[in-house]
Amino acid sequence: MSFYGKNFLYNGISSEVYGLICASIDSSGSETSPAGSDVTIIEEYLNRRETPYFYGVSFPQKLEFPVGFFSEEAIPRERVSEIEKWLFGLSSYKEFKIIQEDLIDVHYNCIFTESSLVCIGNEVFGFQATAICDAPWAWGDTKVFRKTNATGAIYLKNQSDNTRYTKPSIKLTFTSNQATVSIVNTSDTGSSAMVFEDVTSGEVIEIDCDLRIVSSSEEGIVERFNGKYMYLLPDMNTITITGTIGTLEITYSPARKVGA
């Protein structure tokens, strides 16, 4: 997939502000890029055993790829300074989005490093850098699953390309007092239920399953929560609820293995 001559957004600012496009100066017409799907096999060989014990896989590194930003006209030196402040030397990952039809709902969270000027004569026409992402892949638009009066078995299709766990954020809004409410992904064999005790009408509980943080609009949530967190498997998940949740919201950012 190439980014030849595409407008882009970075850190909430459009490249059109500076008259730049994301492009390549390689005229060969052919290129390769990382796909974001590499894994490292975790296994162990033991003495007198011809085949290893297989323990699983891990993602060895974040997605990295070269980028180029160019102008059709020479860029004045004072504008060069403005662009460098916008694109380079930032202290955190920022959203990078290519304006391209097949990437309409895809973005990268990245930092640009190893930047250099591209000059013709003594005039600046662009910049080259390396994009270092926060994950082995890009990200899709945030998905929100919402269910009112949630009880019993409900079904959620996880649209992430991640073949391992997706760790969502969950918001529970209660419309009645209940002694015990539990939520478990029964598709995830062996997982434990999240259990909340003594919930009250109007209480709102928020759970970050990635950072493992729980908060509530009412007091004492740490003592009323059993400390378990729910993850999503790839594709279809069956989530079983004991009790009734006035509104259940499950939010996650799907991984997108579109390469670079």
- Digit-coded pLDDT (tens) for 31-52: 444 555 565 666 777 776 767 7
| 185 contacts 238 by C-beta, under 8 angstroms | yes
123 lies in the same domain as 181 = no
Same domain, 124 and 200: no
3 or 184, greater pLDDT: 184
Q: In whole angstroms, what is the distance from residue 27 CA to residue 68 CA? A: 13
pLDDT of amino acid 4: 54
Q: CA-to-CA distance for 113 and 116, rounded, in angstroms?
A: 9
Question: Does 1 reside within a domain?
Answer: no
CATH number at residue 231: 2.60.120.860
Q: How many domains does the chain have?
A: 2
Question: Of 71-80, 149-158, 192-201, 205-214, where does mean pLDDT reach its minimum?
Answer: 71-80
Note the pLDDT of residue 58.
60
Residues 129, 166: one domain?
Answer: no
Which domain does 235 fall in, by range? 142-256
Tell me the pLDDT band of 26, cut-offs 50, 70 and 90: low
Is residue 121 exposed (0-12), middle (13-18) or buried (19+ Cβ within 10 Å)? Answer: exposed
| pLDDT for the residue 32 | 46
pLDDT top residue among 202 and 47: 202
* 30 band by pLDDT with thresholds 50, 70 and 90: very low
Residues 146 and 133 in one domain: no
Q: In sequence order, what are the residues at sequence separation of 6 or more whose Cβ sits closer than 8 angstroms to the Cβ of residue 83?
A: 18, 20, 69, 75, 127
Angle at Cα 145 formed by Cα 140 and Cα 149, nearest 5°?
Answer: 175
pLDDT at 79 over 80: yes
Q: What is the pLDDT of residues 216-229, one digit of tens each?
A: 999 999 999 999 99
Claim to verify: residue 18 and residue 125 sit in the same structural domain: yes
Q: How confident is the model at residue 21 (pLDDT cuts 50, 70, 90)?
A: very high
Q: How would residue 11 be classed by pLDDT, with cut points 50, 70 and 90? A: very high
| 102 in any annotated domain | yes
**pLDDT value, residue 1:** 34
Supply φ then ψ for residue 56, to 5 degrees.
Answer: 135, -160
Instruction: Read off the pLDDT of residues 92-137 as tens digits, 9 standing for 90 and up.
Output: 999 999 999 989 999 999 999 999 999 998 899 999 999 999 999 9
Domain boundary among 138, 158, 181: 138
**124 and 149 inside one domain:** no
Element holding 81 (H helix, E strand): helix 77-87
Domain end among 100, 117, 138: 138
157 and 131 in a single domain? The answer is: no
Q: Which residue has the higher pLDDT, 89 or 37?
A: 89
Return the pLDDT at 256. 95
Residues 51 and 17 reside in one and the same domain: yes
* Residues 124 and 177 reside in one and the same domain: no
Query: Do residues 55 and 126 share a domain?
Result: yes
- Both tokens of 166, joined, read 């997706």
pTM exceeds 0.75: yes
State whether 124 and 165 are in the same domain: no
> Does residue 40 form part of some domain?
yes
Q: Is residue 197 part of a domain?
A: yes
| Residues 143-164: tens digit of each pLDDT | 999 999 999 999 999 999 999 8
Start-to-end Cα distance in the chain = 7
Identify whether residues 212 and 111 lie together within a single domain.
no
Domain boundary among 112, 138, 164: 138
Q: What is the pLDDT of residue 5?
A: 78
The answer, yes or no, to whether residue 57 has pLDDT greater than 60, is no
pLDDT in tens, 236-251: 999 999 999 999 999 9
